[in-house]
A = this chain, B = another copy of it.
Amino acid sequence: MTLAQTRLTLGDFLARPEIDDSPAWEFLNGVPTQKPMPKLPHSRLQLRLAQAIESLTQPLGAIYAFPELRCAFSNRSLVTDIAILRREQIPLTPEGEMENTAINQAPDWVIEILSPQQSEVKVLNKITLCLEQGCALGWLINPEEKSIVVYFPDRPPQIFSAVDGEIGRGDDPLPILPGLDLTLTATQIFGWLKISP
């Protein structure tokens, strides 16, 4: 879905009240587009991952996970599925509370979860824009294929699949931000989509 046929500036885009409608609108390459409406696996993985990352990463409190956070930088405005920020990157009020604002930078770690029929290359485009602007880690999660591709700013992507086959690595620990400790595997993450009887 496209908001307007004419090219806008980032300022024009951010001034429009409807951009925070659900699903949120994004602004890339001068073109406003609306995120797809999340389905069950997307919603589930987004919540469980954000929870796990916040509650299991050591040292505790070093990073915070923000679902659907708007990040504006390089004349773009993205709404990532999960933006993970190191504590020191979070804008604070003088009272030490989080500022009531979006962020004006790429997150330290970005996670995108592919929706059915969503263009993989468009989602990858969001991740690479972040990686070019200081983001250290990008995960692209494909719930249908049960695969996670991990992108870095300085080396080739690594692929992890929870399906036995030509990719493998389902039980290998997924790469996380440097200096932190968290063990998550693709098998574990896609296991969250199972409902116990």
Chain B residues near A127 (CB-CB < 8 A): 156
Smallest CB separation, A78 vs chain B (Å): 10
Chain A: interface residue total (CB-CB under 8 A): 33
A132 within 8 A of B: yes
Decide if A145 touches B166 in the complex (CB within 8 Å).
Answer: no
A159 within 8 A of B: yes
Decide if B157 touches A122 in the complex (CB within 8 Å).
Answer: no
Decide if B132 touches A156 in the complex (CB within 8 Å).
Answer: yes
Chain B residues near A155 (CB-CB < 8 A): 153-154
User: Which of A121, A159, A165, A167 has most B Cβ within 10 Å?
Assistant: A121
Interface of A is mostly: mixed
A161 within 8 A of B: yes
Chain B residues near A53 (CB-CB < 8 A): none
Q: In the complex the two chains form, what is the Cα distance from A151 to B122 in whole Å?
A: 15
Decide if A31 touches B166 in the complex (CB within 8 Å).
Answer: yes
| A85-103 interface (Cβ within 8 A of B) | none
| A19-56 interface (Cβ within 8 A of B) | 26, 28-29, 31, 33
Decide if B132 touches A167 in the complex (CB within 8 Å).
Answer: no
Cβ-neighbour of A159 out of B125, B147, B158, B165 (below 8 A): B125
Having A121-B159, A124-B157, A152-B156, one finds 16 other A-B pairs with CB under 8 Å, namely A29-B165, A29-B166, A29-B167, A29-B168, A33-B166, A121-B142, A121-B145, A124-B159, A128-B158, A132-B156, A151-B156, A151-B157, A153-B155, A153-B156, A154-B155, A157-B157
Would you give 29 A-B contacts (Cβ < 8 Å), ordered by A?
A: A28-B166, A29-B167, A29-B168, A31-B165, A33-B165, A33-B166, A120-B120, A121-B142, A121-B147, A121-B149, A121-B159, A121-B161, A122-B167, A124-B149, A124-B159, A125-B159, A125-B166, A125-B167, A127-B156, A128-B156, A128-B158, A131-B156, A132-B156, A151-B156, A151-B157, A152-B156, A153-B155, A154-B154, A157-B157
